[in-house]
Amino acid sequence: MNKQKWMQVALDLGMEGLEITTARTVSRELTWFEGKMDTFVNSKILYTSFRALVEGKIVSVSLEKVDDDKMIETLTQLRDTAQYVSDSEKDIFVGVMETTEEHSNKVWIEPEASAIQAFLADLEQRLLAADPRVKMVNQLGFESVRNESELTNSLGVQVQDGYQMQAVVADITMVEGEDLRDGYLVRPVYDLASFDVEGFVQQLIDKVASTLNAKSCTARTCPVIFEKEAMSTLLSCFAGMFSGDLIFKGISPIATRLNEKVFSDKITMIDDPRNLDAIHMQNYDDEGHPTYKKTLIDQGVFKTILHNTRSAIKMNAESTGNGFKSGAGATGVSPMNLYIQQGEASFDDLLKKMDNGVVITDLQGMHAGVDFVSGNFSLQAKGYLVQEGKKVRPLTLITVAGNFLELLNDVQAVGDDLEWQLRSITSPSILFNKAAIGGNE
């Protein structure tokens, strides 16, 4: 397509500007079941999205196929839809800005399909042989994704970004006596030839075995450790509280508390789209604004609101480079590579400090059990009981409830076990002085 001609025609039709983003995603997924390949899917998606600035409002459309012969028709329809956008939704385009760029230090070696099949066949046999309690390998899969995008606008911006990811997933069933438990593990794979298969197998076996013969407990209010995966899940539920769009609307639980202490002084939160430890990094957001590292919470104090261009205008601020799309949809305000800064306590240290309490390892029911505006949550959970700093027995059919702000103000210690894996929002394990545990024992 002739991008410059599209932008000139947009200006001729009375638009104030045009932005064109082209994105290409190549993905591959292979699944394995009972000794043979179950599915093998290759996918290539190319789409072009247009965002037009009309009377200070942005309208957008995404197309899988762009026809230069229908340029005037497409742009006219795009321009005319601006009349349906509220005059309160004013916006701007990002202009050219000086910035440096970071480049991922991760090297992904793409394997041949035959190598993936051999890897999954071997992994299946290793899982079945690792422990006599493994009765079935329910799912094995390998997935890879490679994305490249380019954004060009009529203000002279032309920036490129991209990311790559490969991962293996396994799901198994283990049986002990009359008790049956399922569990899964997903891990990034940079190179099949050097992937720690034995470590992966042992980690999955240990994870599922630790839940065998789990039962509920009596209801109690006690010290609680949210293990890193569970804490990352809980943080994800409330990450929107930093969004300038939601803060402007008054539906963030910290909407009026900028520069106030909202969490324990043991909590510092960072948003860093350029974090080289994370799987996915971007030098620019989906509006072309350079990304950068921001401290959202500094030792408990709320310091930074996240913005895209639209929310920044509403709040008389500047974009923080957090204008990201969900797929080919509209650009919203989102964190990217958000994390709670890790502390100095090992997980064993957290257990000793807690002495008697509950460790939460898994959370479920986030859609129904979280009230974002109030910060209240009541979630189904799994974990284990701890006495005198030692694991006693696994727990299931329990709930954990509280208020996110109150919980994050009641921190006893922050763990040193932060890891990214495949997450874009992550946290180390955290010991809280108390939380409400529901059970039916």
Question: Above 70 in pLDDT, residue 328?
Answer: no
Q: Do 190 and 167 touch, CB atoms closer than 8 A?
A: no
Residue 327 has a pLDDT of: 67
Question: Above 90 in pLDDT, residue 87?
Answer: no
Q: How confident is the model at residue 86 (pLDDT cuts 50, 70, 90)?
A: confident
**Rounded CA separation 393/384 (Å):** 6
Residue 397 has a pLDDT of: 95
Residue 176 has a pLDDT of: 96
Instruction: Tell me the CA distances in angstroms from 441 to 220, 223, 387, 399, one per residue in order.
Output: 11, 19, 17, 12
SS3 string, 374-405, reads CCEEEEEEEEEEEECCEEEEEEEEEEEEEEHH
109 closest CA partner among 15, 208, 194, 27: 194
The predicted-structure confidence for 97-122, as pLDDT tens digits, reads as follows: 999 999 999 999 999 999 999 999 99
Question: Above 80 in pLDDT, residue 329?
Answer: no
Instruction: Tell me the CA distances in angstroms from 109 to 163, 164, 165, one per residue in order.
Output: 14, 10, 10
Q: Is 211 left (phi over 0), alpha (psi -120 to 50) or beta?
A: alpha
Q: Do 123 and 49 touch, CB atoms closer than 8 A?
A: no
What mean pLDDT comes out for the span 163-186? 96
What mean pLDDT comes out for the span 212-225? 97
The predicted-structure confidence for 256-297, as pLDDT tens digits, reads as follows: 999 999 999 999 999 999 999 999 999 999 999 999 999 999
The predicted-structure confidence for 37-70, as pLDDT tens digits, reads as follows: 999 999 999 989 999 999 999 999 999 899 999 9
Question: Above 80 in pLDDT, residue 441?
Answer: no
3-state class (DSSP) for residue 249: helix
Instruction: Tell me the CA distances in angstroms from 106 to 101, 113, 175, 197, 280, one per residue in order.
Output: 15, 22, 38, 19, 10
What mean pLDDT comes out for the span 303-315? 97
Question: Above 70 in pLDDT, residue 181?
Answer: yes
Residue 108 has a pLDDT of: 97
160 closest CA partner among 328, 276, 271, 22: 22
Residue 407 has a pLDDT of: 98
**Rounded CA separation 377/408 (Å):** 13
Residue 154 has a pLDDT of: 96
Instruction: Tell me the CA distances in angstroms from 238 to 231, 402, 428, one per residue in order.
Output: 11, 13, 16
**Rounded CA separation 384/13 (Å):** 65
**Rounded CA separation 402/436 (Å):** 7
What mean pLDDT comes out for the span 351-370? 96
Residue 213 has a pLDDT of: 96
**Rounded CA separation 263/302 (Å):** 8
**Rounded CA separation 428/418 (Å):** 4
